Structure 1
Amino acid sequence: MIKEPGDVLELALQNDELDRFLAGEPFYFLETKDDHDDPQNVIVAFDVLFMPQFKARNTPLPQMFVQALLKLIANYPDRNRALYMAVDWVWCYRYLLQKKQMQPDGPYASLPIIDLSAVANDLKSSLEEQKEHLMRDLRWAGALWNSRLGLWEPLMRTALHVRDKLGGPDFVPKNG
């Protein structure tokens, strides 16, 4: 059976498993043609799956997105994967929101304003708690070619970029 991308998101929404989609968990992994090693191709997923929903004014999706991120951070069994992916989704959203602000009638005109403050609070405390584990995790952007401190270093770079260049939210840990 070949999965259509929209079917994958619809199934995740119907089954209350959007958190598993955000984590890029198999069956919910979005197949794309690139060399990214990440668990989910967040930018493609946002463009191909979320933006059509926002254009159609799927009003519950922004709140479902926030709740799924909170669920991912709190309950996903692989804590490092959960944090890595949650940070990536927050970065992607803020990056696209900045594009919308620069080009209000452009391709991201229908991107809603989503309050991610609760997600930022949970991310900040979870990153603080997981620091030692993240520093030893050499998966994805934490690979030796990209980081001296495992996943911790790229996550801190992203957290600072979101706060300082993309207008927040601030989830930079105190022990960063």
Structure 2
Amino acid sequence: MISTASNVLLEAFSHNAFEKFLVGEPPYFFHAKNDNEEPQNVSQAFYTLIIPYWNLTKDIDFPKRFSSALYQLLDTYPDKNRAIYVAHEWIWCYKYFFDKNILNSSEYYRELFEVDLSQVAYLLKSLIEENKEGLINDHRWAGRSWNSQNGMWGPLLKVSETVRDKLGGPNFVPTNK
């Protein structure tokens, strides 16, 4: 069984705050060992919370809840660059684990939920294009100078292309690259 007391995902669900969990707002930040500062530890949260939740519940509403929360986050979160960065990470992570599901018949990944991310990808692409200059000048997280010469823009572009070209995910590669 999944413990509610130590599970920030379930806490977020119980407080109707799934978007806050996705973006890593306290108290919904998932604490995990990570070498780099991130707004939310997406990969660890997906592997440690999302997959077990799905494997246990097979909640038929979860895929729609996931895509709706990502869309809402992109549409309304005041820090647009943070919303873009985090939504980007969640989509990459989902497609990565979904690809593992296809390539690896491991019990843990078996039957990972399918979700339509087309509307989220459309909005994400639009926001990336609109916020290009701000993303280039944003040196948080993957945009730090040790990782990128052009702020968040370069890492976001690289991951967008990876999701589209290597993971068969939705296309949110900006046209103004």
TM-based fold match above 0.5? yes
* Cα 1:62/1:174, change in 2 over 3 Å: same
The Cα shift of 1:81 comes to 0.4
The Cα shift of 1:59 comes to 1.6
TM-score (norm 2): 0.93
Question: Matches of 1:164 and 1:86 in 2, distance apart?
Answer: 18
Give the equivalent residue in structure 1 for 2:49. 49
**AA partner of residue 99 (structure 2):** Q
Alpha-carbon contact 1:123-1:171 (below 8 Å) kept: yes
Question: Matches of 2:134 and 2:142 in 1, distance apart?
Answer: 15
* Cα 1:160/1:137, change in 2 over 3 Å: same
Say if 2:62 is the partner of 1:67. Answer: no
Question: Matches of 1:50 and 1:140 in 2, distance apart?
Answer: 22
Question: Matches of 2:5 and 2:89 in 1, distance apart?
Answer: 23
Deviation string 1:125-168 (CA, Å, 9 cap, x unpaired) is: 01011111000000000001111110011000000000000001
* Cα 1:88/1:5, change in 2 over 3 Å: farther
Deviation string 1:24-67 (CA, Å, 9 cap, x unpaired) is: 11111011122221111111101111112211211211111000
Question: Matches of 2:127 and 2:54 in 1, distance apart?
Answer: 29
SS of 1:107's equivalent? Answer: coil
Give the equivalent residue in structure 1 for 2:30. 30
**Unpaired stretches in structure 2, ≥5 consecutive residues:** none
State the identity as a percent: 45
Give the equivalent residue in structure 2 for 1:20. 20
The Cα shift of 1:15 comes to 2.2
Give the equivalent residue in structure 1 for 2:160. 159
Give the equivalent residue in structure 2 for 1:108. 109
The Cα RMSD (Å) is 1.3
Give the equivalent residue in structure 2 for 1:82. 83
Q: Name segments (4+ residues, structure 1) moved above 3 Å.
A: none
Deviation string 1:46-93 (CA, Å, 9 cap, x unpaired) is: 111111221121121111100000011011111100000000000000
Count of aligned pairs between the two proteins: 173
**AA partner of residue 137 (structure 1):** D
Question: Matches of 1:66 and 1:112 in 2, distance apart?
Answer: 12
Alpha-carbon contact 1:12-1:21 (below 8 Å) kept: yes
**AA partner of residue 34 (structure 2):** D
Question: Matches of 1:64 and 1:5 in 2, distance apart?
Answer: 21
